[in-house]
Amino acid sequence: MSQSAPATTLQDIIAHAKEYGFVFPSSEIYDGLQAVYDYGQNGVELKNNLKAAWWKSMTQLNDNIVGIDAAIFMHPLTWKASGHVDGFNDPMIDNKDSKKRYRADQLLEGKAEQLANEGKADEAKALLEKMGQLLSAEKLDEVRELIVAENIVCPVSGTANWTDVRQFNLMFSTQVGSVADDASQIYLRPETAQGIFVNFLNVQKSGRMKVPFGIAQIGKAFRNEIVARQFTFRMREFEQMEMQFFVRPGTEMEWYENWKETRLRFHKAIGLPAESLQYHDHEKLAHYANAAVDIEYKFPFGFREIEGIHSRTDFDLRNHQELSKKKLQYFDPNVDPETNKPYGNYIPYVVETSVGADRLFLATFCNAYTKETVGEDDKAKERLYLKIHPALAPVKAAVLPLVKKDGLAEIAQDISNSLKSSFRTVYDDGGAIGKRYTRQDLIGTPFCIAVDYETKEDNCVTIRHRDSTEQERVPIASLKEKIGQAVAIERILEAI
Ligand code: GAP
């Protein structure tokens, strides 16, 4: 019998991720680099599997979506056209006593959350609305006044001795070439989307794509986040999985609704429970959007965004067309039933889906972290394991000889070798079998295959299932198919 254990904290997650080779602080021997992380031997497998599930869900399940891989560096005018040079800012405020820097909007959002928790939902809503209005109108003095009026103090110094609110551009810049003048300044892309926009016609023409169609991409993005915390939730270097879906103007809201639903199904299909997911409509729309919603996951620190779905209008393509002086239009031969004439040339509208690979990783990891108390009274003991979807698990099967001697190790090695080409399999003969099961539980291996003396007689092995710990006896010859089916990425794709 099992009972539920105390709630998981972010500290539990960070410690487990480090101890079992999922995520390490970057350049840790030099005390790390704030908000930058490295994926370890198990983390990279889990992250790659998540990326593969996303990539296939986009490019394999949809005939009209293709992928690209654009460069991180782009012509600097890209970021002028996209609005990032002028508008990709966060409002920051410093506390003069503690010298700590905060995002002004996050201070106010924190206050609104506190009000909502105290049952003052109307006050919370009014505060967020007021903040949205002031930020949209760039009334930064009044944002500061609002912070003071709400008695918001610095959590470190406890004072309200605030500086003015200033805008802080989040883009990292660097120099290209050897001459350090303004003309050679370029940016590290703050989103992957622009690599798709500038290639819109290249892909449309070379792929003979017809609207509606989409372009998908996975790649690194960089933001000089003011407040970087909550582990891999907010990083300065991270990975995005974005898809821009080009549609005929006027049809964008249908597609927006469609992608909203499809993307939620994806998150459920990878194993995130429905009750831990929710939509959150944006209070303050980004400079490019006419509708936007977040899909949020319930992290140990509350519901937070993992994916954004944005109706971006023709903002990006139109601005690129204007600045580059290159036509970015599509000729639509379909007949408009109202005019009886072809729709003709237009700049498509865009519905974007944008999910962070690192946030998806963190959500999957938090969801998988399972602590149970097994047994009762003096026999009660705690069991910890990662309940990762079998198709996403870093290792799919571990082959464990009961003992190393009497030929059992050789049989186990042979089994491991025969499975390796189909899915990630490891061989482990170190220590008591119970300890070896635990080792695999802690990294989320769904199947352990035990080789014992009977195996020599009946050519069968015992499969031990991670979640139930139940054991079943199966012929060696059936392992590849049986485990292969359970760990195939198709299991996720079929569930979307
Ligand atoms: N192209 C649209 C765009 O970039 P966004 O809402 O700023 O929209 C999309 O970012 C997704 O990228 C977010 O939902 C999140 O998953 C991820 N993301 C954004 N900033 C991040 C950061 N600093 N660290 C980790 N992931 C981040």
Pocket of ligand 1 (CB under 6 A): 191, 193, 223, 225, 234-235, 238, 240, 242, 305-308, 352, 354-356, 358-359
Q: What is the pLDDT of residues 253-265, one digit of tens each?
A: 999 999 999 999 9
Give the Cα separation of 376 and 63 in Å (integer): 54
pLDDT at residue 1, as a whole number: 43
Give the Cα separation of 425 and 242 in Å (integer): 31
Ligand 1 atom with the shortest distance to the CA of 310:
2
**380 near 365, Cβ under 8 Å?**
no
Give the Cα separation of 293 and 94 in Å (integer): 30
CB atoms within 10 A of CB 173: 13
359 CA to centre of ligand 1 in angstroms: 9
Q: What is the pLDDT of residues 119-147, one digit of tens each?
A: 999 999 999 999 989 988 889 999 999 99
- Is residue 282 very low, low, confident or very high in pLDDT (cuts 50, 70, 90)? confident
- Is residue 67 very low, low, confident or very high in pLDDT (cuts 50, 70, 90)? very high
pLDDT at residue 231, as a whole number: 95
**404 near 430, Cβ under 8 Å?**
no
Where on the phi/psi map is residue 21: left (φ > 0), alpha (ψ -120 to 50), or beta? left
Give the Cα separation of 310 and 289 in Å (integer): 6
Which tokens belong to 407?
């030929």
CB atoms within 10 A of CB 364: 25
307 CA to centre of ligand 1 in angstroms: 7
360 CA to centre of ligand 1 in angstroms: 11
**356 near 372, Cβ under 8 Å?**
no
Q: What is the pLDDT of residues 3-36, one digit of tens each?
A: 556 789 999 999 999 999 999 999 999 999 999 9
Question: Could you state, in order of their start, the residue ranges of all structural domains in the chain?
Answer: 2-72+191-365, 389-493
Model confidence, pTM: 0.92
Query: Which of the listed residues 172, 191, 226 should we mutate to test ligand 1's pocket, taking the one with most ligand atoms within 8 A of CB?
Result: 191
Which tokens belong to 68?
């690209």
Query: Which of the listed residues 168, 359, 361 should we mutate to test ligand 1's pocket, taking the one with most ligand atoms within 8 A of CB?
Result: 359
In 236-289 the beta strands, taken as DSSP E runs, fall at 237-247, 277-281
pLDDT at residue 179, as a whole number: 63
- Closest residue by Cα to atom 2, ligand 1, is 354
- Is residue 183 very low, low, confident or very high in pLDDT (cuts 50, 70, 90)? low
CB atoms within 10 A of CB 14: 17
81 CA to centre of ligand 1 in angstroms: 19
Ligand 1 atom with the shortest distance to the CA of 354:
9
Per CATH, the architecture of 2-72+191-365 is what? 2-Layer Sandwich (3.30)
356 CA to centre of ligand 1 in angstroms: 6
Q: Is 409 exposed, middle or buried (0-12, 13-18, 19+ CB in 10 A)?
A: middle
Cα→Cα distances 355→235, 240, 308, 314, 408, Å: 14, 6, 6, 21, 46
229 CA to centre of ligand 1 in angstroms: 14
| Cα–Cα nearest to 437, from 401, 459, 464 | 464
At residue 108's C-alpha, the angle toward residues 107 and 111, to 5°, is 90
pLDDT at residue 7, as a whole number: 85
CB atoms within 10 A of CB 187: 20
240 CA to centre of ligand 1 in angstroms: 7
284 CA to centre of ligand 1 in angstroms: 15
* Mean pLDDT taken over the chain: 94
381 CB-near residues (< 8 Å, 6+ apart): 373, 374, 375
Ligand 1 atom with the shortest distance to the CA of 236:
23
Ligand 1 atom with the shortest distance to the CA of 308:
14
Ligand 1 atom with the shortest distance to the CA of 234:
24
Q: What's phi and psi for 478, nearest 5 deg?
A: -95, -5
Give the three-state DSSP class for 167. Answer: strand
State which fold the 389-493 domain adopts. Answer: Rossmann fold (3.40.50)
Give the three-state DSSP class for 249. Answer: coil
